[in-house]
């Protein structure tokens, strides 16, 4: 079965296992099209999430993002949490510091007017691995940022020291596109970001 990479459209890829393919161009790892959940099944999975924005452990988990926003931006900056889910700890923490951040989620806060505005920073925690169409989504994310803006994403990057077959991260049926640092470099160049930085699970892209 010939399938284009959903990030770069390349047709040259090799099998990571029976479900995932490795792109030879952008080095993204994507799930076979015939294994993708439909929208209703995908939402059923997200409805099972028990995330509570007030939970201190959840706030600690998202702290790589909230800490850097608090460090790099002032409360006068306007931000967007893209893929906020039902209850965003990022928004809770930043609003507690009087930051102006809006929340968008295609399943729970689908206010398209937010996607017609621009922001000083955009956050996206454990979201980009769910992108069925990462090319379309990163193009959108780029348009949401003002000059000298920042996109802060959290995801678990794959690296060759990881045993893919035993790796927990691929097992979530809604994790459909997995990134390597080389994939981040491709995104930076292709979509016209100025630079990028990878620090553990935190991926930052700058305009």
3: in domain: no
Residue 50 confidence (pLDDT): 63
**What dihedral do alpha carbons 137, 131, 169, 160 form, nearest 10°?**
-50
7: in domain: no
- The average pLDDT across 132-152 equals 98
98: in domain: yes
Residue 84 confidence (pLDDT): 94
33: in domain: yes
- The average pLDDT across 167-194 equals 97
- The average pLDDT across 166-170 equals 97
Report whether pLDDT(9) > 90.
yes
Residue 48 confidence (pLDDT): 66
Among the listed residues 174, 162, 157, the one whose alpha carbon sits nearest the alpha carbon of residue 48: 174
Binned at pLDDT 50, 70 and 90, residue 5 comes out as very high
pLDDT tens track for 90-127: 999 999 999 999 999 999 999 999 999 999 999 999 99
Percentage of the chain modeled with pLDDT above 90: 86
164: in domain: yes
Report whether pLDDT(202) > 80.
yes
Sign (positive/negative) of CA torsion 102, 58, 200, 95? positive
Q: Is 52 helix (H, G, I), strand (E, B) or coil?
A: coil
Supply the range of the domain harboring residue 22: 13-206
| CATH, residue 123 | 3.40.50.150
Let me know: does 92 contact 53? Beta carbons within 8 Å: yes
pLDDT tens track for 17-68: 999 999 999 999 999 999 998 887 777 777 666 678 888 988 999 999 999 9
39: in domain: yes
173: in domain: yes
Domain count, the chain: 1
pTM for the whole structure: 0.95
Residue 46 confidence (pLDDT): 75
Cα distance between the two ends of the chain: 37
Let me know: does 80 contact 58? Beta carbons within 8 Å: no
Residue 49 confidence (pLDDT): 63
């Amino acid at each position: 079965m010939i399938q284009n990479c959903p990030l770069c459209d390349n047709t040259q890829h090799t099998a990571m296992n029976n479900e995932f393919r490795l792109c030879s161009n952008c080095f993204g790892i994507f799930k076979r099209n015939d294994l993708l959940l439909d929208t209703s099944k995908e939402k059923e999975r997200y409805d099972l999430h028990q995330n509570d924005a007030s939970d201190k452990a959840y706030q600690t988990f998202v702290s790589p993002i909230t800490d850097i926003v608090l460090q790099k931006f002032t409360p006068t900056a306007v931000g967007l949490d893209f893929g906020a889910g039902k209850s965003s700890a990022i928004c809770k923490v930043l609003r507690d510091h009087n930051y102006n951040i809006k929340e968008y989620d295609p399943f729970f806060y689908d206010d398209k007017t937010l996607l017609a505005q621009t922001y000083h920073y955009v956050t996206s925690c454990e979201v980009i691995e769910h992108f069925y169409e990462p090319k379309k989504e990163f193009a959108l994310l780029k348009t949401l940022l003002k000059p000298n803006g920042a996109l802060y994403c959290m995801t678990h990057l794959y690296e060759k020291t990881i045993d893919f077959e035993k790796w927990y991260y691929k097992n979530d049926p809604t994790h459909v596109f997995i990134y390597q640092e080389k994939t981040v470099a491709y995104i930076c160049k292709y979509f016209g970001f100025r630079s990028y930085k990878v620090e553990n699970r935190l991926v930052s892209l700058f305009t």
